[in-house]
Amino acid sequence: MSTVLNPPPTLRSFRSPTPRSPRLSMLLRSTTLSTAAALPVLTKLQHDCATPLPLLRNIADNMAADMRAGLAVDGGSDLKMILSYVDSLPTGHERGLFYALDLGGTNFRVLRTQLGGRDERVIDTEFEQVSIPQDLMSGTSDELFDFIASALAKFVKKEGGKFVLPNGRSRETGFTFSFPVKQTSIDSGILIKWTKGFSVSGTPGKDIVACLNEAMGRQGLDMRVSALVNDTVATLAGARYWDDDVMVAVILGTGTNACYVESVEAIPKLQGRKSTYGKTIINTEWGAFSNGLPLTEYDRAMDAESINPGEQLYEKTISGMYLGEIVRRVLVRMAETGSLFGKHIPEKLQTPFALGTPNISSMQQDTSEDLEAVGSILYEATGVDSNLDARKMVVEVCDTIAKRGGRLAGAGIVGILQKMEEDSKGVVFGKRMVVAMDGGLYEHYPQYKRYLKNAVAELLGPELSSHVVIEHSKDGSGIGAALLAATNSIYEH
């Protein structure tokens, strides 16, 4: 078993040549003058993005080591390893009407669910999604939370049908907040910093629940936040409600994060804090991981121009907010050095984030002979006209970035499992282990998902990987937050 997870150091430093994909081989045989000039850019990109098995093993080892260092002391590693204060997970006995507010990116969701206990479980669920105006992402704290509370109040007014609040009760909500927070209790936490393109003033250093409570008060909304959770924690809770073998949850969407169930004995920085069940959920904040990542000049340039240079490097290589932007930067280089799209470079192509990850995913789904969809997407998103050879090269760039992202994400998952295996003295890999996955990137980008699963299988080998189930938990963070609100309700079920 150890030979699979821990190869000799000499192997870990080895980096094999980048194998050519069948598409690239075909492209080399049918190059035009413009695509031939751009080929060196593609070849170097594929070399710099290569993720051979020894490199992935090194990533997994580094992830496990950084997790352990982050559990030993605050600030011990890039990974914050934040205590969630979720010491008990939903059992299925929860009853009543509970809400959830899920804030984790450019949209937020409001949700309500009626729980019927062990026999009826989830009776019904409703949710709405609301887009956050761009100006509020860089506005003031009061402006953002007033907007959120107003949407929540409007949603509550539509309550009816199967959704019934028992007499004498105030409404309770779980608050999924997918940004780095220093949790101080199950219903309070201090915002460390904004990520994912947010730069709201007046919130860092404040209790995020107090910010929401004050905004709900200004809206006249009688509602109590009974659980503050990260989206990964909520996803784990939502998936665990149906499957007792869920031990890890990963979000791969606009941003990325992971959490897992940890024994309190393995957390030195707890300093005597007890858990009724002997276990708790740790929010890793793995987006900040950086140890050993294969970065390109495009990653470094994008990072340098970001609002948080030098931070969230793992997130910037594997999450949905950034994959399309990396591809765009590569295409600009190809257009400049190889005239891939003709002599003129459209201004739209030179606009940061003009090409989104949904664009590159859609281009990879185009199986037509002339790649018509690829041409249309390129023109609409970036303003470029393209011939067939240029489109083939664009698809190859998309695949290169998606492959690196998916395989690095898979290595991170194995790193978490490896850490759990080492601390549990060999019982993790001997039984069924479920990793709950949520997020639009994982759900809607099939090539990315395949690369992730393949990396996990390669790292663990056929026998061990047969016990690891990577399962999509759609909308898990929303229902999970409502379930944790129920678990921590001030009322008896």
Catalytic residue among 231, 299, 389, 399: 231
Among candidate residues 196, 316, 403, 419, the one labeled active-site is 196
Give the sign of the dihedral formed by CA 186, CA 190, CA 196, CA 200. positive
HSE toward the beta carbon, residue 168, CA cutoff 13 A: 3
Count CA atoms within 13 Å of residue 136 on its CB side.
Answer: 16
Q: What is the dihedral of CA 178, 180, 181, 186, to 10 degrees?
A: 40
Q: How far apart are CA 62 and CA 193, in angstroms?
A: 24
75 Cβ neighbours under 8 A, 6+ residues apart: none
Look-up of token digits 């850490």? 419
Residue 373: burial class (beta carbons within 10 Å; 0-12, 13-18, 19+):
middle
Cα(476)–Cα(481) distance, rounded to whole angstroms? 8
The question of whether 231 is a catalytic residue gets the answer yes
For residue 208, the surrounding DSSP H or E stretch is helix 208-218
Q: What angle do CA 118, 122, 127 make, to 5 degrees?
A: 160
The letter for the amino acid at 198 is F
Q: Are 87 and 482 in contact (CB under 8 A)?
A: no
Do 255 and 269 form a contact (C-beta atoms < 8 A)?
no
Largest Cα–Cα separation, the chain: 76
Alpha-carbon distances, residue 279 vs 78, 174, 264, 266, 276 (angstroms)? 23, 21, 5, 9, 8
A 10 A CB-CB count for 93 gives: 13
Q: Is 206 a catalytic residue?
A: no
What Å distances lie between residue 383 and 334, 347, 401, CA to CA? 15, 8, 21
Contact 60, 414 (CB under 8 A): yes
Q: Which sequence positions are flagged as catalytic?
A: 196, 231
